[in-house]
């Protein structure tokens, strides 16, 4: 089954309106300058919530799509400070990151909550990009696959049975020890976890698993992107730090191989 590569930029809590505009403009212009050949991947930018509308306007007419960094599991109502899926759709989002390890750590989001948020994203017509990953301690005590297995298993009952091309499961494997540390996982470690996740999704979803994309995230840079994206079960990347500079982000997109 053909899976289009997907590159997602997670800007985290960085950027005011002016810098967000500049960054979005730089990425759109860079991709426009490459338009002689069609893009080898889908590109999604996830700015902070305060810049979503502005970035949506800057992306107008380009192939780049917009995503949120988080959403509430609730549909609306008395949830001060929260943003629901319909609100994200209202400012132009089609995607949303769910269960990023920084939210799991900072906001105490556990596997059950992450699964409910993913369900809310499906319900509200968004494409969830669900993050999983082990801590350094879990890796060092040999529990990596057990942790990833449990994180994925928590999602399974909440994935709709009727998946579409626009709404399917996207999972980003992000070893917590590799995020923002400059230390990315070795190719063999990524291969092992992605192969494991693919098999678990096949067991849970049968043939539908073939359209679910598996991204890698954790200190992806232009220098290592090509070899990571070249791995068989890697369908793209979730990019943090390197998505904050248009030249670096564009160089990562340039490293996406034509896999199919």
Contact region with ligand PEP (CB under 6 A), list: 60-68, 133-141, 157-165, 232-240:
232-240
| Other CB atoms within 10 A of residue 105 CB | 11
Q: Is 100 noted as a catalytic residue in this protein?
A: yes
Regarding 133 and contact with ligand PEP (CB under 6 A), the answer is no
Catalytic residue selected from 56, 100, 138, 194: 100
Q: Does residue 174 touch ligand PEP according to CB under 6 A?
A: yes
What is the nearest approach in angstroms of ligand PEP to the Cβ of residue 172?
7
Q: How far apart are CA 146 and CA 111, in angstroms?
A: 13
Contact 45, 14 (CB under 8 A): no
Residue whose CB is nearest to ligand PEP in the complex, by number:
240
Collapsing DSSP to helix, strand or coil, 143 comes out as coil
| Choices 73-81, 174-182, 198-206, 223-231; region in contact with ligand PEP by CB under 6 A | 174-182
| Total residues found in the chain within this entry | 260
194 or 205, CB closer to ligand PEP?
A: 194
Distance from C-alpha of 160 to C-alpha of 157, rounded to nearest angstrom: 8
Binding-site string for ligand PEP from residue 233 to residue 252, where x marks contact by CB under 6 A and - marks none: -----xxxxx----------
Q: Across the strands, what pairs with 42?
A: 6
Choice between 144 and 219, CB closer to ligand PEP: 219
Contact between 69 and ligand PEP per CB under 6 A: no
Q: At what angle do helices 222-229 and 187-205 cross, to 10 degrees?
A: 40
Q: Helices (H), strands (E): how many in the chain?
A: 10, 8
Q: Which of 218, 225, 229, 253 binds ligand PEP (CB under 6 A)?
A: 218
Of 9, 67, 175, 217, the one binding ligand PEP by CB under 6 A: 217
How many CB atoms neighbour CB 41 within 10 A? 21
**168 sits near ligand PEP (criterion: CB under 6 A):** no
How many chain residues are in contact with ligand PEP, going by CB under 6 A? 13
Please tell me whether residue 46 binds ligand PEP under the rule CB under 6 A: no
What residues contact residue 118 under an 8 Å CB cut-off, 6+ apart? 98, 99, 128, 130, 155, 158, 159
Residue ranges in contact with ligand PEP by CB under 6 A: 10, 174, 179-180, 217-220, 238-242
């Amino acid at each position: 089954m053909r899976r289009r590569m997907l590159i997602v930029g997670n800007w985290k809590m960085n950027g005011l309106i002016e810098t967000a505009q500049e960054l979005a403009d730089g990425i759109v212009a860079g991709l426009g300058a490459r338009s002689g050949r069609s893009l080898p991947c889908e590109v999604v930018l996830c700015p902070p919530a305060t810049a979503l509308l502005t970035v949506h306007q800057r992306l107008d007419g380009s192939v780049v799509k917009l995503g949120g960094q988080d959403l509430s599991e609730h549909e609306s109502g008395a949830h001060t400070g929260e943003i629901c899926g319909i609100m994200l759709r209202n400012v132009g989002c089609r995607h949303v990151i769910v269960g990023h390890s920084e939210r799991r750590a900072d906001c105490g989001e556990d596997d059950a909550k992450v699964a409910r948020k993913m369900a809310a994203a499906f319900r509200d017509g968004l494409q969830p990009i669900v993050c999983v990953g082990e801590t350094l301690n879990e890796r060092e005590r040999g529990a990596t696959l057990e942790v990833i297995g449990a994180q994925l298993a928590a999602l399974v009952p909440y994935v709709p049975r009727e998946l579409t091309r626009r709404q399917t499961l996207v999972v980003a494997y992000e070893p917590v020890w590799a995020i923002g540390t400059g230390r990315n996982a070795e190719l063999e470690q990524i291969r092992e976890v992605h192969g494991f996740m693919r098999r678990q999704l096949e067991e849970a979803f049968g043939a539908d698993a073939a359209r679910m994309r598996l991204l890698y995230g954790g200190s992806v840079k232009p220098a290592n992107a090509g070899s990571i994206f070249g791995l068989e079960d890697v369908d793209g990347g979730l990019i943090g730090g390197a998505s904050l500079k248009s030249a670096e982000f564009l160089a990562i997109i340039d490293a996406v191989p034509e896999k199919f």
